[in-house]
Structure 1
């Protein structure tokens, strides 16, 4: 009997977390009615979930903890179907003869792959990502300018003041930018401070900023912000984006495209 109660409690806590994903804020009395248990039982559930840093208790209820994304060294740069769909959508927005700067990251690598299969011609491309530069120089006729500097150990791109100062000397039509996390209220963020500084420069040298972001990254936060929500001209995501998220982004003045 005790084992059954334990299992039920775990299922109830899982449902509380699921509801918080949808609503962001829950009230104890609403959960009492939903689960047909006592208020003390719900408060115990919330206390245990708070200890695991899965929610924050408030007066009479709880709110969702923002999910923070951390950085792992990319042993394999996985290109998901969502990344490829977003990349193809972004590539379709280019004009012949455009000048571009391409950020580092798997979403931007997927964009480079989309360029390999695109019919568009005559692009002038800046990048500090080694794999992107190599792919495009070997498999396309576009003009590639690789921004050299110190290679960040464990990653496949150059970074630091040398790269930043070189980027400052260019002006391009479009910037293709990736992000680790995106909060509708706070903006775009990444775990590494140096990477955030690189991304800030891309915003300053491009006439149009295209942000590639899987829907799974929406609602998450990382350590360092590099741009506000409306600083992007076009936000491209996949069909997993929620309707409520799209409305909130549009209300912030963001143009959202789904792939």
Structure 2
């Protein structure tokens, strides 16, 4: 089977099943896993599928939300560089809000031991990483915990963010578009993100470039509300220019 024929069959399988896995495709077509990854990359670049950890999903599934394990394994190198760059944005002895997201969790893990900060978060994985940090005054926002993201949502979380004013919010996102803004699959999660934006004087978005151009069901902000985007060098120049035109500073790492 020629490459284009195999890719067409992969696309058919993805649309029928909602997801395809690299190893199962390699076994099905009797090719190497690397060949399948190249096929998926070609389909991703054509806008027909979206690469996820271990495979791909049809590009049209805007409601798809990978679980925590998948997100942590996707674009790991890029997320590491973004988190390291975000450390320079920590206020000296001030207060921050840490959103629920795998890149933000990497930032939390990288906060130096001698740092003195007040930290507010509704993300259980972030709180777990910082609970033993003696220099941090940690405030955990409560609410209903979503299984996929381990994040607190709904009325309790919204009320908590309405009562504070932090120096910096480190924000996570599932997808962003220069013109249509920031989005996530879940309405409850979007509401908490919107409340967290309102609770901070400065908003720093941490997002790898694979999320550029992705649009999900629940829109929660525009780039006019974001002061700084830290992303990787995969961001297209035209996308960077459009984001900067909205007044957002862009740092590529």
How does the TM-score come out when normalised to structure 2?
Answer: 0.73
Q: 1:157-196 maps to which residues of 2 (within 5 A)?
A: 157-196=151-190
- Residue 11 of structure 1 deviates from its aligned partner by 9.5
Residue 139 of structure 1 deviates from its aligned partner by 3.7
Give the aligned partner of residue 156 of structure 1: 150
Tell me if 1:258 matches 2:252. yes
Corresponding residue of 1:74: 68
Verify the 8 A CA contact 2:114 2:135 in the aligned structure 1.
no
Looking at structure 1, the residues matched to 148 and 3 of structure 2 have their Cα atoms a distance apart, in angstroms, of 44
Which of 74, 90, 93 aligns to 1:94? It is: 90
Q: Distance in 1 between matches of 2:60 and 2:219?
A: 14
Matches of 1:224 and 1:154, distance apart in 2: 16
> Does the aligned pair in 2 maintain the 1:182–1:188 contact within 8 Å?
yes
CA deviations on 1:210-238 (whole Å, 9 max, x unpaired) are 00110110011111100012210001101
Q: Deviations over 1:120-178 (max 9, x none)?
A: 62200000111211111114421100112222234412111111111110110000100
Give the counterpart of 1:239 among 213, 229, 233. 233
Alignment gaps of 5+ in structure 2: 9-42, 50-58
CA distance in 2, matches of 1:54, 1:155: 26
Query: Are residue 105 (structure 1) and residue 94 (structure 2) matched?
Result: no
* RMSD of aligned Cα (Å): 2.7
Q: 2:212 aligns with which of 218, 231, 243?
A: 218
Q: Could you tell me how far 1:76 is from its partner in structure 2?
A: 5.5
Cα gap change, 1:130 to 1:242, in 2 (>3 Å): same
Displacement of 1:88: 1.2
Give the paired residue count: 206
User: In 2 relative to 1, CA 146–91 (structure 1 residues): closer, same or farther, beyond 3 Å?
Assistant: same
